[in-house]
A and B are shown apart, each in its own frame.
Chain A
Amino acid sequence: MSSDNQTADGRIESTQDARMGEGVDSRFNSTLREAFGSSPFILTKFDQFMNWVRGSSMFMLQFGIACCSIEMMHTYAVKHDLDRFGAGVPRASPRQADVIIVPGTIVSKFAPRMKRVYDQMPEPKFVVSMGSCTISGGPFQEGYNVIKGAEEVIPVDIHVPGCPPRPEALVYGVAKLQERIANGESAPVTVKPYELEQFGDLEGDELVEKLADQVDEDDLVMRYNWAESP
């Protein structure tokens, strides 16, 4: 590398050092800069650069649902320290987050709220579903109240299986997501069976008529058709 050329008496030899100029603190000479060698210029497509940046610095939403959130906390904290991979700053507000990790079972009462939280995140946004419950409902799949996976409600980029997944598995999942983002890939938008819609827009059937006096026309609702669930 060009920076190796420096002589013992401190005489500047390399082009790199020449360009950096005199009097610049050596702390500015990062590994990355050294990697670029004598030419501190790179040529890339703007979109590719942006994807690389995006993947290298992700803000996670601080979002806990169930058991998996305990392992998620351990992933953020000491020993596993997700932040080492540039993806470990939990943000309390969805408006500041890029990634939502869905850590736990989603039930009928919570799904509309989760959808709302997801909708509040700015684009581009990514979803890591953590644990079996967010894949299929997991051990609670047969529960009368349980949504059979996060993908019924929001699109998912990466599924991390396990009940719960170990922190290592989540780190791997997030690293995979970063890799995909850096490559400009995101999940194909899948068909989401459950959407928030206004009550007035629902097709009138027995159930809708029954609830008509309890729910306003413009209330947002989510309709679950359990018989058609996988």
Chain B
Amino acid sequence: MSLEDPDTGAIEPAEETAVGVTDEGLDYDALADLLGDRLLDREEHVNAEGFVVRPDEVRSVLFDLRDEAGFDHLSCVTAQEYDDRYESLYHLKKYGAPTQELSVVVPTAKDEPVSESANPVYRTADWHEREAYDLVGVEYEDHPDLRRILLPETWQGHPLGQDFDGEEPQIVTLREHANPLQEDHRGDDADTMFVNIGPHHPATHGVLHLKTVLDGEQVADVDPDIGYLHRCEEQMCQQSTYRHQIMPYPDRWDYISAGILNEWAYARAAEDLAGIDVPEYAQIIRTMSAELCRIAAHLLAMGTFALDVYGDFTAIFMYAVQDRERVQKILEDLTGQRLMFNYLRLGGVAWDIPEPREEFFEKTRDLLDDMPERLAEYHDLVTSNEIFQLRCVDTGVLPPEEAKSFGATGPVARGSGIDYDLRRDDPYGHYDQLDWDVITEEGCDNYARVLVRLREVEQSARIIEQCVDLLEDWPEDEREIQANVPRTLRPDPDTEVYRAVEAAKGELGIYMRSDGTDQPARFKIRSPCFSNLQTLPVMSEGEYIPDMIASLGSLDIVLGEVDR
């Protein structure tokens, strides 16, 4: 319940034994004692302390922090290049208490940027470190498969490194991919088949390429190949100014109408970085519009999932789009755009509720009034359909331990019974003042994930309703939509912040480092889909191929956010 005090993660049994947990939160001195000599230095970041460790002790440090101190969630890995060194940052959190954060800072030498891989500790480090290698050029010792992930294999240079020359020509190949299990064939009868699914395929929800090896009808091996929509979002943000130029880009990460949720991730991080307070009234508008976005995003997830499982382009998909159109209409009234809202500003929102206000509220209430009936319809069509249940119950199973190890968040984690929602656990906006529930399902399967989304639509509607009530009664002369923010923001040099919000797909985090100018020196996006997609092999290996397609649909990835 959101009404509870959010910082009560410590009462969970696992937390009591964890090192460094006190009633006030996290005791960094105790954690420092745990690391002993391995701790070289301590840095102060806006969100947490950063512990500097040697590159050849990363693994032992992370093991201790995970097992002794309870940091079971590797949220993100950020790599960056300074003038004198490379640095990898491991942003650690706890699923039980995400406000207890710690950054592990691993500096490496300029001429030999090699540090230990965190993959044995957190399996999610696999892709995160590959990305760091690809874009920045840090290498990870003992990494199981250190190759490029977002850029083509034949790419030259590391584009977010300092000496990258964007004018250099590049050559990209188009070739068929070999069967990775070919050499495991035993004799002539044992036969596996290699199938490329994507990058242009109706079931991949965008430009995803799945290198799949089939043994008969079953999936023997699946390797998602991403990067077909890597459009340099981090570079774009690094060359834009904080105040206005960055805000349009978040809309384009998770573009399934989840724009305001993404904008909020940036707004929250930047506001913490620059110390801006947002007026309460603006927070309520943000909360309301963000939840409208969540409804639209979940409806599309449900509609396209039905498209994958039923294979029809008719009723369910069309119903979902119809309801999305209504939500988009309201959002368009509010923001002026159907999809790319660009509505939040640092310190508030762009403008107030449109006049006449009554009309706007009436439209919103109409939507909410119809919602129970529409949801009942969806439950009729989807979740209570026997064929659907046959397809989805107990397929694509993702056990909670695996989900945690892969850093899964959002409906994917909550469908595996992990009670983790940043809106409640790390409150921002107006969520902690409202009455709503975090939805979890214990099923761990495709069905549970779809059910979580549908039930979350209900909760979002509850939140919106309460926000509308508050906004309606808000006194006219106190409608402050924007804090006083300097025209040009120049946060103090070398301030670092990592902040996350609960976006439609899960934990969307932003890491920013300022260098005293009006542009961030490093801007890193922690995309929930990127981590969630890593769980696909766990869900689908050994399963039938149609179940893999269903699992992919139930992950609800959006490639703009996976590839950024």
Contact = CB atoms under 8 A, between A and B. Distances in A.
A210 B154 CA distance: 10
Given A66-B560, A70-B339, A224-B172, A105 B229 contact: yes
B229 A144 contact: no
A79 interface: yes
B227 A109 contact: yes
Contacts of A113: 174, 199-200, 207, 228
Contact of A223 (B167, B171, B175, B207): B171
A125 interface: no
- Tell me what chain A mostly uses at the interface: helix, strand, loop, or mixed: mixed
A96 to B, nearest CB: 13
A53 interface: no
B133 to A, nearest CB: 16
B255 A67 contact: yes
Given A74-B321, A226-B166, A65 B171 contact: no
Contacts of A211: 154, 171
B169 A224 contact: yes
A162 B92 CA distance: 40
Contacts of B121: none
A140 B207 CA distance: 17
A107 B321 contact: no
A94 B199 CA distance: 13
Interface string A189-230: 000000010010010000110110011100111111111000
B154 A214 contact: yes
B321 A207 contact: no
A215 B338 contact: no
Interface in B171-202: 171-175, 199-200, 202
- Tell me what chain B mostly uses at the interface: helix, strand, loop, or mixed: loop
A175 interface: no
A77 interface: yes
A225 B233 CA distance: 21
B175 A219 contact: yes
Given A66-B229, A67-B560, A214-B154, A108 B170 contact: yes
Contact of B174 (A62, A107, A166, A222): A222
Contacts of A163: 340
Contacts of A116: 174
Contacts of B313: 90
A70 B236 contact: no
Contacts of A221: 154, 171-174
A164 B339 CA distance: 7
Contacts of B154: 211, 214-215, 221
A107 B167 contact: no
Interface residues of B, number: 53
Interface string A72-86: 011001110000000
B164 interface: yes
Interface in B225-270: 227-233, 235-236, 239, 248-249, 252, 255-257
B200 A202 contact: no
A63 interface: yes
A104 B313 CA distance: 22
B23 interface: no
A145 interface: yes
A139 B325 contact: no
Interface in B473-499: none
B102 to A, nearest CB: 32
Contact of A140 (B156, B169, B232, B322): B232
Nearest to B322: A78
A92 interface: yes
Nearest to A73: B321
B6 interface: no
Interface in B136-175: 151-156, 159, 164, 166-175
Contacts of A225: 169
B317 interface: yes
Nearest to A76: B313
B440 to A, nearest CB: 28
Interface in A45-64: 62-64
B223 to A, nearest CB: 15
Of B227, B231, B318, most buried by chain A (CB within 10 Å of CB) is B231
Given A111-B172, A143-B235, A79 B229 contact: no
A113 B176 CA distance: 11
Interface string A140-169: 101111100000000000000001101000
A154 B325 CA distance: 32
A140 B257 CA distance: 19
Contacts of A202: 171
B25 interface: no
B399 interface: no
B559 interface: yes
Contacts of B239: 142
A67 B325 CA distance: 16
A134 interface: no
A11 to B, nearest CB: 45
24 contacts: A64-B205, A70-B256, A71-B338, A71-B339, A74-B321, A77-B318, A77-B322, A78-B321, A92-B202, A107-B230, A108-B152, A109-B228, A142-B232, A143-B235, A199-B171, A207-B171, A210-B156, A215-B154, A219-B173, A220-B174, A222-B172, A223-B169, A224-B169, A224-B170
Given A67-B340, A117-B200, A143-B236, 20 more contacts: A64-B205, A67-B560, A69-B206, A79-B322, A90-B313, A108-B172, A110-B199, A110-B229, A143-B235, A144-B164, A144-B166, A145-B231, A207-B156, A211-B154, A214-B154, A219-B175, A221-B172, A223-B170, A226-B166, A226-B169
Pairs A-B, 8 closest by C-beta atoms: A143-B232, A67-B255, A77-B321, A112-B174, A227-B167, A110-B228, A140-B231, A220-B174
